[in-house]
Chain A
């Protein structure tokens, strides 16, 4: 069983929803990312997603776009981020997921990527523009290397697609809470709870909800219906506001703590 699945199983026993923070690797630099991962784990993160910055992030709103631009100022590559993960693995066992766009994996070479990612200690991968139909190569090499391929499901996916996604995903189903790009939202989408209930009836796989999940009260509202909550832009906003502060890592940690408390 993968580190991700084990973690989700363990949390299920405790009736806790997994807190899954997303940060862009290299924002504002790799040293800070490393410190942030360790701090977020210490303050209650269960699984951590690291965004690999891409020049054309079509599924991302302004906050994550800006984080990518900050990271790319140092010309951060997938290779650098694999090295970061390797380095992190000396200090933590927290499940780590890389999330980006397919061209970066493709360019690296899918087989080479799967081998190197596993070697570095990556547990799962998500390509935001890779639907199940196009994923045969990534699936093949990821399976061979025991790397979870996590697929997204959305409010516009009809039942037969949801079933297909549930069948193909490993680790968890990443349910996109709304029709739109990533970013902080005031309110949850109106139909989110009913959609999650419907999805639960279709599959036994764990479901994590992301896109727009921005504050503790959002997590409280969904935690009975979801196995995990992904929070990205809201955390990156804290980074953005504290770019010049010595307490950046601590402040992100404080926010993660508040989110984690909403998971019980």
Chain B
């Protein structure tokens, strides 16, 4: 089973952190592995996922979109309908309950798009935990609505002015906080990145997406899908969808990376397509770095994808060829955003619009009996003003 005992997916993963964090990571690993086997913990999590977060989310057959593209049958896994508007809540409820189980009273988190920050703030309010969220000032500007939401929920948002002032830097600052307040604090990391056990734990909490999808597609189509398509930033929504299908070799995985203004321009967030292997934020994985090993600045219109690294499990999938990775530019994502809004009446998060944009290319090439499932990981309300700006509209 992957990862191995030391948190490696093949050659990727591990635990590259300052010594001060090592004991806490070992404790977290033990707490998580005991919670995983504890029926009461699982029952409590299940209760919150269904009664509070609104699971299961629908697997919606997008009839009009299918017709418009004129090829494969397209299903949308509606994670945008989760409480808080994105899949992030699956993980924050899980880790929130785990925090209580470990007897810690404070959580910290990083956020890019603000979705994980909001989902953490929500879980903290629900479970009675103190919560501070680190966010780059560049993202605070781009996602002001989510910033205010977190504050309304009783969390503190701490602006991060170092580096490029986006997600990467928010993680740096959260790690510095954690090193300092390790004894009372749990770092509620929002993606399948970071040191072991985060990549496997976050993937497990998100696997509910794929498990439900499997059941639902069998019920609705009587067979497994041909393609699963999801956007890849750190990797939590994609691995949540993909992982339960790992052994179903006929189901193809397609991870969509943010190509920003185009991979050739250098202004993108595509470590799997244009990066090299290195060590950042606790694990060995693909990275965007210069020839000297310094981490490069990234760009994507979708703040949740604007990150130079990627989860180690994705690096492993790339290496063994289990998943295919493709680039989608800002412009293509924007077009897909509008297309879904106008054909199905759904405004996707700009992150999820990347997955959709690839399907716009893929579906017409496939025959009508093929099935594609897209993870619609979040809703686009938070992005309306970015879209307005990109279209040259003043709100």
Contact = CB atoms under 8 A, between A and B. Distances in A.
A176 interface: yes
Contacts of A104: 292-293
Given A59-B179, A152-B18, A158-B23, A129 B279 contact: yes
Contacts of A61: 176
Nearest to A135: B16
B180 A181 contact: yes
B278 A103 contact: yes
Contacts of B168: 56
B15 A133 contact: yes
Contacts of A103: 278-280, 287, 289, 293, 295
Nearest to A104: B293
B24 interface: yes
B369 interface: no
B293 A107 contact: yes
A130 interface: yes
Contacts of A156: 19-24, 182-183
A17 interface: no
Find the residue from B24, B162, B282, B287 having the highest chain A CB count within 10 A. B162
Contact of A151 (B19, B163, B278, B282): B19
Interface string B13-42: 011111111111000000000000000000
A99 to B, nearest CB: 12
Contacts of B183: 156, 179
Nearest to B164: A55
B293 A129 contact: no
A117 to B, nearest CB: 15
B265 interface: no
A157 interface: yes
Nearest to B22: A131
Nearest to B277: A106
B293 to A, nearest CB: 3
A152 B179 CA distance: 14
Contact of B16 (A72, A78, A129, A155): A129
B176 A107 contact: no
Interface residues of A, number: 40
Given A103-B289, A108-B293, A55 B22 contact: no
B contact residues, range: 35 or more
Nearest to B14: A134
Contact of A157 (B14, B23, B291): B23
Contacts of B370: none
B280 A56 contact: yes
A214 interface: no
B175 interface: yes
Contact of A161 (B23, B182, B279, B292): B23
B294 A181 contact: no
Contacts, number: 111
A102 B295 CA distance: 12
A84 interface: no
B16 A181 contact: no
Interface in A43-86: 54-59, 61, 65, 72, 75, 77-79
A107 B292 contact: yes
B7 to A, nearest CB: 10
B6 interface: yes
Nearest to B297: A55
Contacts of A131: 15-19, 22
A177 to B, nearest CB: 11
A180 B179 contact: yes
A75 B278 CA distance: 19
B172 A58 contact: yes
A155 B175 CA distance: 17
Interface string B254-288: 00000000000000000000000011111010010
Contacts of A102: 16, 279
Interface in B157-177: 162-163, 168-169, 172, 175-176
A106 B279 contact: yes
Contact of A180 (B14, B23, B162, B180): B180
Given A65-B162, A156-B182, A179-B183, A58 B18 contact: yes
Contacts of B291: 107
Interface string B326-365: 0000000000000000000000000000000000000000
Given A131-B19, A134-B16, A156-B182, A56 B292 contact: no
Contacts of B295: 55-56, 103
Given A65-B162, A179-B180, A107 B289 contact: yes
A151 B287 CA distance: 25
28 contacts: A54-B293, A58-B172, A58-B175, A59-B18, A103-B278, A103-B295, A106-B278, A106-B284, A106-B293, A107-B292, A107-B293, A129-B16, A129-B17, A129-B18, A131-B15, A131-B19, A131-B22, A133-B6, A134-B14, A151-B19, A152-B19, A153-B19, A154-B19, A157-B19, A158-B23, A179-B20, A181-B176, A181-B179
Interface of A: 54-59, 61, 65, 72, 75, 77-79, 101-104, 106-108, 128-131, 133-134, 151-158, 161, 165, 176, 179-181
Interface of B: 6, 14-24, 162-163, 168-169, 172, 175-176, 179-183, 278-282, 284, 287, 289, 291-295
Given A58-B179, A61-B176, A153-B19, 16 more contacts: A55-B294, A55-B295, A56-B280, A59-B176, A75-B292, A103-B278, A106-B293, A129-B16, A129-B18, A129-B279, A131-B18, A154-B18, A156-B20, A179-B20, A179-B181, A181-B179
Q: Which 9 A-B pairs have the closest CB atoms?
A: A107-B293, A77-B292, A154-B20, A180-B180, A55-B294, A152-B19, A55-B295, A58-B175, A103-B279
